[in-house]
Structure formats: C-alpha cells, structure tokens
Amino acid sequence: MSRFFLKIHEFLNRHKSLALIIAVLYLGLMSFLASGIKLEEDITKLVPSGNDQDLVKTILEESKFSDKIIFRVKAEENTDRDSLVAYANEISEFLNTELSEYVAGVKGKIPEQDIKQIYNFVQSNLPIFLNEQDYVIIDQKTDADSIAASIESGYKQLISPTGFVTKNYFLSDPLSITRLGLARLQELQVGDQYVLYQNYIMTKDQKNILFFIDPVYPASESNRNKQFTAKLEAKIASLDARYNTITGDYFGGLRYSVANAEQIKQDVRTTVIIAVTVLLILLVVYYRKFYVPILLFLPSIFAGITAVAILYILQGSVSAISLGIGAILLGITLDYSLHILTHLRNSSNIEKLYKDITKPVIMSSLTTAIAFMCLVFVKSEALRDLGIFASLSVLFSSFFALVLIPFLYTPGNIYAKTTILDRVSSLDYSKIRPLIYLLSGLFVVSLFFFSKVEFNEDLSELNYQPEHIKKVELELEGLAGRSGKTILLVAYGNSLDEALYRNNQLYQDLKKFENEGDIENFSSIGGVVLSTETQESRIDKWNSFWTAEKQDSVKNNIQKTSKIFGFKSNSFSNFDELLVKNYSSIGLKDYELAGSLYMQDFISNNPEISTVSSSVNLPEDKVERFISYFENVPGVVALDRKAINQNFLGDLKADFNILILASVVAVFLVLLVFYQNLLLSVITLLPIAITWICALGIMYFFGIEFNILNIIISSFIFGLGLDYSIFITNSCLKEYETGKSELKTYQASIILSVITTLLGIGALIFAKHPALKSISIVSIIGVLTAVSVSFILQRSLFRKLIFQQYGSLSFRRNNKNAVSEKLYHKDAILKHYRYHSTYSEAKAEFRQQREKFLKISRYLAEVDDLLVLNSGIGILPLFIKIKYPQNEVYSLEFEESKRVAAKNAYRLRDDKIHILESAQDLPLLRNYIIQGDTHDSALIKDLSKSADLMIFLETKMKTRWLLDQNFELTYRQNDILIYRKLT
C-alpha cells in the first residue's frame, strides 16, 4: 500500500504542471456537482423515524399552532381604551402593508359585518350547533311564561338607545335560541376572560389587546425571520416612544428560533476568531511554514466537496443538519494531515514516510469511517445522511492527505530549535507511575457509575432562551389563563370527515373532563364543526323536537304575547321560518365563508392525512393522567413538549447502544484484518472502551447529562480515540520492531490534534448557547480522556504484554513435546517476527520452505560455522541457529530493507546471528548456503576456495563447475543442490 502512494508521489513530482491541472479540474467538477445538492432544513429529520414517530411528525407539520405569533398591546394604569386601539390599529396596518412579505395574515380585529355574518350563519344552520343540554333549555324557553318574559325583555331592548343594534336579532329569534348555538363558538378560544372592544380582543381589565399573526415563513427559516423581527421591533420601539404609557410586544416560536440562530452565530464567531488565531500561531511556530495552516485544511476541503458531490449523485438531497454536524466532525480529518506533516518535519525521507505512515492513516480512516457508517442503522434520516457524509469525508481525507501533503509540503531544517511541544511529546507518560495509578483508579471507580448517566429528552433545554423573551412568554400565558400546562390534542383520519367524527367524540371527552374539574378550559371546534354523520343526527333531533303541536303552541304563545306590546302579526315570521326550515348538512367551505371563525387554524386537510386540533389547559399534576387516558383512544394523539420529545427520542438511547456495539464489532474486525493478531487488536481497541467508561464516569460525577446533540458528538470522540489508539499502537510496534523509539513524532501529532480539537469545539465552552456548551463539555471530557488513556494506559499495556518479552524469551530451552515443534521450531522462529511488519511474509516463507530447511539441516549437524547468502528477512539463518545453537551463523543480504528486517527479528536472541553489511565483510568459512540466484559468479568461486560444504536452494545458477573444483554432488532434489569437497 505504501508503494502505491509512493508511485503517485513520484509521478506528481515528475509532472507538476499536469498535477496542478488535474487538481483544478477535479475540484471544479466536484464543486459543480456539489452545488446541485438540495439542502433539507427540516429539524424533525434529526429525530428517529418509525410508525409512531412518523405519525407525530406528520401531525406536527400539519398543525399550525407552533408557528403562530401572539402580539400584545399593553397599557399602564389610567390609559384609556381608545389609545390601546389606536396603537393596535397602527401596528396592524404596518403588519398588513410594510411587512406583507413576511405576514400571511393578522387575526384580532373582527369586522362588524363578520359578527353579523357569523350570527346569520349559526342561525341558518341552528340544529347543527345545538347539543342535548341545549334542548333542555329550549324546552324551558318555550313554555308560555318564558315566552312572555322573552317578548317583554326584547321589547324593552328595542325601545332603548341601542335598540337599532338588537332589532334584527330579536325579531328573527325572540326566544334567543341562536345564542345557544353561538355559545359553541366561545369554545374556539381558551378561557372567557376576554371581551370585544371596537372589534378587538381585549382582556377584561382593559389593559391588553391581543391579536395573532400568521407568519409566511416557518420558525426554521431563521434568516428570513431575522429580517421580519428586526423591522417589527423597530416599529414597536417607534410606537412605544410615541405612546409613552403603551408598549407592544410579541411571542412565537420564531422569536426563540431567531434568538438561537443569532446566539449561535455570535458564539461561533467569537470562539472561532480566538481559536483560529491561536491555532495559526501554533502551527506556524511548530512547522515553521506560513502556508501550513492552509495545507492542513486542504485535504479536508477536497474530501468534503467530494463527499457532497457523491451524495448529490446518489440521492440528490441531504439534510442541512447532517452537513452542519458533519462539518464539525470534519475536524477529525485534520489528524491525518497533522500526522503526515509531523513525520515530514522530523524526517524528510519520503520513502520512509510512506512506509511508516500509510498503514496507520489508512487504518484510522477506515475504522473511523466504519464507526460513522454505523449511523445508517439509526432510525433518523439526518443521522443516516451524517453517517454517509462523515464516512466518505474521512476516507477521502486520508487519501488526499497522503497524496497532497508530501507533494506540497517542503520540510525545513529537521534540526530546528526544539519547541515546548517537542519536549512535551518526547515524554513517555506510561512510565510515570502516579499517572497510571490515577487513571486506573478513575477507571475502576467509573465502572460503578458510568451506566447511571441520564439522557435528557427535553429539547427545550438545548434552546437559548433570553430572559426578556421568556418573560413575555410567561406573561402571555398568564393572560390566556394558562397557569398550568397546555396540551395539544389532535384527532386524525384518512379523510376530513373521519377526523371530524373523531374530534366530535374527543369534544365530548373534554367536556366531561371540564365538568369534573380535571382541566381548566379548552379550545376546540368539536362543538362547531361536525362530521356529516353527527350533523344529520342533530338535524334529526331538531326535527323530532319541533313537532307540529310544539310549533303551533310556540307560535300561538308568541302571537298572543306580542300583541300586548303592539307587535304586528307578521313581526316574527322569520322565526316561524326557522322552525319549519328543511335543514341539511354543511361542509368545511360553508364554515370558511361564514366569517372570522379561523377554521384553518384548527383543521388541516390533505390527501395523506386530515387533522383537527384542540388545545387544553390543565394543572401540572394532572398532565400525566390526562395524556395516558388518550393513549388507547383510536385516532387521537395527546401531546405536550415532554411527550413529543419522549416520542421522538425514546428509542434513541437504544439505537445508540446498538450503534456503539456495531461500531466496536466492525472496528475490531478491521483491526484483526490489518494486524492479523488478536492481542494487538485488543490492545488497540481496549483504550476506546476505557475512554468511554472513564468519560461517562466523569460526566456522572459532574452531573452532565446526555442529549441528542452530545450523544452524536460521541461518534466524533470514538473516531478521535480510535486514531490515537492506532497511532500509539503503530509507534509501539515500530519501537518493538526496530528498537528505536519514534514516540516523540507520534505523540506530537496526537497532541496537535488534541490542541486543534480543544481550540475548535472545546473553545465553545465559553458559549452562551446551551447546545454549543453541551457539545463542548462532552468533547473536552472525551478528547482529554482519550489522549490520556492512549498515552498512559495503552503504552503501559503494550510494555507489559509485548515489550517485556525481550528478557523472557529463550529458545535454548524448549519445553514443547510436539513432534512438529522439535522438527521445525515454528513457534520459536515466528515469535521473532510477531508484531513486525514482516510477520505475514515470514509465515508464508516458513510454510513454503520448512521441509527444505529441515532437509538442509540434516547436513549441518556436524558443522561449526555457516554463512547464508541471500538470507532475505532471516528465516533460514534463524532456523539453523535454533536447531544448532552451538554453531556460529552468519548471514548476508544485499537488499537493505530485508537486511534491516532480519536485524530487527534477531534482536530477541541472546546469542546474536552475525549479519554482514556487504561482501567485503565476508569471513572465510567452510560451510555456505546460497538462497536463490547471485549474479556475482566471482563471489561464489571465491567462497568455494575455502568451502567444505556448499548448499544451493532454489537457484538457477550453473553449479556443475564445482565438480571440477574437487566437489561431489551428494544430494539433488526439490530444488536443493548439496556439494561436498572430496578429501
């Protein structure tokens, strides 16, 4: 794998102009594709999906309550009502004209004609608005004495100064039956603490006017709403200054949304400026190159754009939330550039760089990508997008880092002045016993507490809630009589009629709860807008009540009493028509044409699902019982903020438990494939488990809870911890194989990664926004724990389990009784190569050659010294030395990399094999083994002059000339030639 990247590097160096053209064309193409992707800003895509969750999300999308804005005009003491109305008129006019781009409608002032229109609508369809209790009252109103009292009362109203207003109402309905139907309309608003003044909704104390604003843009469109709120607040400030004792204010979900967006921008802007400044100084000072910071981010930029382009090709759209979180997580990809830059800084040998760094970088990116890819199993569309985006970004970042960094970075003087970071990274923290005891103690204690960390399902605690906005919210809730909790109830069905029918049944339940005192009040159209079946049932009730006898009796009594007060005989003819009218059911359009009923605020009707919403106010201590009542009611969902969050996030913990388990298993399998060793895989993965337990323990001790955002960040910490573990493992393996410690280089790159992470995400600890602070706290805990575990415990484990084999290995004493081990010494030989990069090669060579080695060894029992020419990585010399430890064994390999591999393998032996550097160092011996071919025939002839035994293994060289040198061929089989000198 390292050869592949080395060849790319050499090609690019030979064709620098072509490399630049390819890079520009590639980036241009990927940018063009990425620019076409559609961003979906729906925040509900972040939460898990499922039958129940999808239903709730659909219902919330269809319900319009969350987007409404309540506007209040508030007066101080001794302010007349007309001034309130004047202020309200001005702000309403401003909303309808100057802010029409942002406002779909303003509801608050009810036109006079609408009042008449609503009255006429109810009267024209009176049976539909009457319930069973109303008929008891009507029965009382229709006896002779009640009719006489009603006519007399109506007459007095007619002769009063306001008689012209009530005249038409009285003549069309002298018994005020229509008012019983109008009473249903009062249930459209919570509470009865309001009055109408000049057609505005005013509180009874006459100090507040309330009206509602329907915004064009949902709360999630924070940029648009920022413009809207800025213009609205400027107008409010102007009116407040002019009216002195009157103030305006408003509340709605978008106000929190704008405040959150602005606070996030402010927090990020402040921390990023500080973090980037410090980071730039640090990188420039450490690497001594001004362009290093740009170079550091270049692979991540290439990778991020590539990942978005691939997402565009695969699915055309992506969650904006996943890209936002993914951009934060891209910080992990800086590790690869940091590791490569640090290795280049300390050694400018490109071939050595690729040999040392390719495997750990590829391993880190692959394991991290797999960990992120496990997010696709979470039932959340946004998190699935995040998993794909992050996985692709990590993989491409490692590739581009391996290609671009060595190509673009020119290391300076490797003997540059030592920095503080160099000194810090050169320490072997695993040898500091107090640190080992401290971290081990933390781990042991955390084992008892890590599972007790709570998961906070209240999303509202992640919102930034400025005090002045919260104050307005509480005041408006108080005006609405909402001293307890407000619950949203939604009846739904496949058709509007089905939803209305279920809502009618829900209405009866709510009336029952109200009568029993379990709820304070409710807002519902259940008594107004009825299903066709319910309407027809009520019309039948009307018809059966008004029998011919009943009608005649009422008419006669009205005629008789009205004559006394001088009414004409036909004065109440409209009422007579009301009784005999042929009524029929009405549809939703009829309601909408009736006037200011605002049915669209309660009803949503589309082909997929129809919903009818109601709002209930009740004491806090009765919420749980109230919601549980509707859990088994078909077609009805009862929701409050806590219930919504629990519904959305209830399975998230379980999903992430599965995610962590899947990630661990997948990563472990990848480590096994790369290391081909169980112990190494465990040593590399174990720090992640220790980090996770210790981090959770710290969170428990400090009372830090998990939430939907910082649990996502755990994937980031998992990835970083993996990187640290893999690089520490490879540094230990390098030290074990070569005997030279490169811990300083590896630890320096890891420390730089920690610093960049803490300066980036960790700096958000100073943010005011609770979501950012939450992310930052968990990141700081996770990153510091991960690096501590890797530096201290992982190296300590490595030393205990692997390094200390130096003093414990002795192959002179072999207690194994197996026949094969006595013959071949497989374990004794391969143990020298275990944990080395040549282990696979050693296994393969031993498996292929062991029978030949055994055959050759039978001719070596009596020899005292021996040279193996073309000894490769040293398997044959080691086999002979273990077989005959009394012999002096020499080896000569012309290829340096194989000679170095043999040296590293022989480090485990007390009695070293003599490794020769060149042919000039050859001693004159009597026994020689030549593996493969040697083109220097003169060298072989020189060796033959002193030789008694010459063995050729798998050679194509001509050897028969030895017969002329007084040698005889004693064995010829299986590519083995054995010559002995005749005596």
Q: What pLDDT, on a 0 to 100 scale, did the predictor assign at position 845?
A: 92
Helix axes 222-243, 81-97, angle to 10 degrees: 150
With 60 as the cut, is the pLDDT of residue 49 above it? no
538: β partners: none
Q: Could you report the per-residue pLDDT of 276-296, keeping only the tens digit for each?
A: 787 778 777 777 777 777 888
State the pLDDT confidence band at 188, using cuts at 50, 70 and 90: low
Amino acid at 841: E
More confident residue, 964 or 598: 964
Rounded to whole angstroms, what are the CA distances from 463 to 47, 261, 772, 774?
16, 10, 10, 11
Quick check: 816 pLDDT over 60? no
Q: For position 442, what pLDDT does the model report?
A: 93
Measured CA to CA, the distance from residue 734 to residue 743 in angstroms comes to 9
pLDDT of residue 817: 47
Query: What gap in Å lies between CA 635 and CA 495, rounded to an integer?
Result: 12
- Provide the pLDDT for residue 810: 42
Percent of the chain with pLDDT over 90: 14
Contacts of 869 (CB under 8 A, 6+ apart): 892, 928, 929, 930, 931, 934, 943
Q: Is the pLDDT of residue 813 over 50?
A: no
- Distance, CA of 349 to CA of 15 (rounded, Å): 20
| 216: exposed, middle or buried (Cβ count in 10 Å: 0-12, 13-18, 19+) | middle
Tens of pLDDT, residue by residue over 751-810, are 888 887 787 777 777 778 787 788 788 888 988 999 999 999 998 888 888 776 544 444
How does residue 568 score in pLDDT terms, banded at 50, 70 and 90? confident
Mean pLDDT value across residues 662-681:
85
Please tell me the predicted confidence (pLDDT) of residue 330: 58
Residue 336 contacts residue 361 (beta carbons within 8 Å): yes
What mean pLDDT do residues 628-655 have?
67
pLDDT band with cut points at 50, 70 and 90 for residue 460: low
On whether the CB atoms of residues 753 and 283 are closer than 8 A, the answer is no
pLDDT at 807: 43
951 falls in which pLDDT band (50, 70, 90)? very high
pLDDT computed for residue 784 by the predictor? 92
Residue 62 has pLDDT above 80, yes or no: no
On average, the pLDDT of the chain sits at: 81
- For residue range 382-402, what is the model confidence (pLDDT) as tens digits? 677 778 888 888 889 889 989
Residue 886 clears pLDDT 60, i.e. is over it = yes
Residue 812, pLDDT > 60, answer no
pTM of the model: 0.69
pLDDT of 192 higher than 80: no
Q: What is the mean pLDDT of residues 356-377?
A: 82
| pLDDT at residue 814 in the model | 45
Checking if the pLDDT of 46 tops 70, the result is no
Tokens linked to 280: 């730039």
Does pLDDT of 652 surpass 70?
A: no
The reported pLDDT for the residue numbered 621 is: 81
153: how many CB neighbours lie within 10 A of its CB?
13
pLDDT digits (tens, 9 = 90+) for 869-883: 999 999 999 999 888
Alpha-carbon distance of 607 to 610, in angstroms, equals 8
Residues 722, 901, 745: CA angle, nearest 5 degrees? 40
203: CB partners within 8 A, 6+ apart: 193, 194, 195, 210, 479
pLDDT of residue 343: 80
How buried is 779 (Cβ within 10 angstroms: 0-12 exposed, 13-18 middle, 19+ buried)? buried
- 814 contacts: CB under 8 Å, gap ≥ 6: 821, 822, 825, 828
Task: Note the pLDDT of residue 216.
Answer: 84
